[in-house]
Amino acid sequence: MLEVRDVAAGYGKAQALWGLSLTVSVGEIVTIVGPNGAGKSTLVNVIGGLQPAWQGSIDLDGVELTNLATHRVCASGVAVVPEGRRVFPEMSVSDNLDMGAYHREARRHRDETYAEVCEIFPRLAERAQQLAGSLSGGEQQMLAIGRAMMSRPKLLLLDEPSLGLAPVIVEAIFDVIREINKTGTSILLVEQNVVEGLELAHRGYVLEEGRIVREGPAADLLDDKELQASYFGM
């Protein structure tokens, strides 16, 4: 479904991704793990059209997304939840959700999708009229994910949704990701939380200094002694 081929990207003269290739198949949860500064956010932003690719190609179901504007990437079926849960604090929860449903197909199905999102996130439904800025950190992350779901994506990209949240909240967010995946949405998750991120996934990639150094079924990566020694703090 998603095919990233030989993508390079960076900032000015500083290259952050070096010829990176990966795939996500229909129905999969794929997790990319790697240390701080490895290039995880750069990768998410390039796929989501938030940042240009210097070389290579990205396509979804055969439709080329490389260097399209974000709204076109979104209309093609890819939604991004960027790092740092950016919600609109002065807007209500329900208005924040509606911001996610801006392309034509999403608007047409707005009520149906809204009901589905409220089912996955009952807390958001309860707080629909509250200002987003009054929500807890975990609730704001849920809102950011719910807003992305409002565009009815085929593929959801999540950049470190667990960042800065208490373990019990992280668990709740990972449960939600599982549930969203069960409804048929493919997931590409980026995580510094290596063990939990891989436990959730079907397949994984390990990113180091802008290159993929390992890939495979998530269970194999979790079992790998070398990775355990370098990453999992075991």
Ligand X SMILES: Nc1ncnc2c1ncn2[C@@H]1O[C@H](COP(=O)(O)OP(=O)(O)O)[C@@H](O)[C@H]1O
Question: Which C-beta is closer to ligand X: that of 16 or that of 20?
Answer: 16
State the minimum distance, in angstroms, from the CB of residue 60 to Mg ion: 22
Alpha-helix runs per DSSP H in 92-192: 93-99, 104-108, 110-120, 122-126, 137-149, 167-182
36 binds ligand X (CB under 6 A): yes
Site string for Mg ion, 154-193 (x = CB under 5 A): ----------------------------------------
Phi, psi of 34 (to 5 degrees): 165, 160
3-state helix, strand, coil in the chain (%, to 5): 40, 25, 35
State the minimum distance, in angstroms, from the CB of residue 107 to ligand X: 32
128: tokens are: 């629909």
Residue 167: strand pairing partners: none
Q: How far apart are CA 161 and CA 44, in angstroms?
A: 13
Q: Are 8 and 66 in contact (CB under 8 A)?
A: no
How many helices (H) and strands (E) the chain has is answered by 11, 10
Cα dihedral: 177, 179, 184, 189 (round 10): 10
Site string for Mg ion, 64-103 (x = CB under 5 A): -------------------x--------------------
Partner interacting with residue 16 (select from Mg ion, ligand X, none; CB below 5-8 Å by kind)? ligand X
85 binds ligand X (CB under 6 A): no
Q: How far apart are CA 141 and CA 150, in angstroms?
A: 14
40 binds ligand X (CB under 6 A): yes
Among 24, 30, 38, 124, binds ligand X (CB under 6 A): 38
Task: Select the span of 32-40, 57-65, 102-110, 117-125 touching ligand X (CB under 6 A).
Answer: 32-40
16 binds ligand X (CB under 6 A): yes
Phi, psi of 180 (to 5 degrees): -60, -40
Question: Which C-beta is closer to ligand X: that of 36 or that of 129?
Answer: 36
**C-alpha 27: how far from chain center:** 14
39 binds ligand X (CB under 6 A): yes
Partner interacting with residue 36 (select from ligand X, Mg ion, none; CB below 5-8 Å by kind)? ligand X
Among 41, 66, 113, 141, binds Mg ion (CB under 5 A): 41
Question: Which C-beta is closer to ligand X: that of 42 or that of 151?
Answer: 42
Residues making contact with ligand X (CB under 6 A) = 11, 14, 16, 34, 36-42
Residues making contact with Mg ion (CB under 5 A) = 40-41, 83
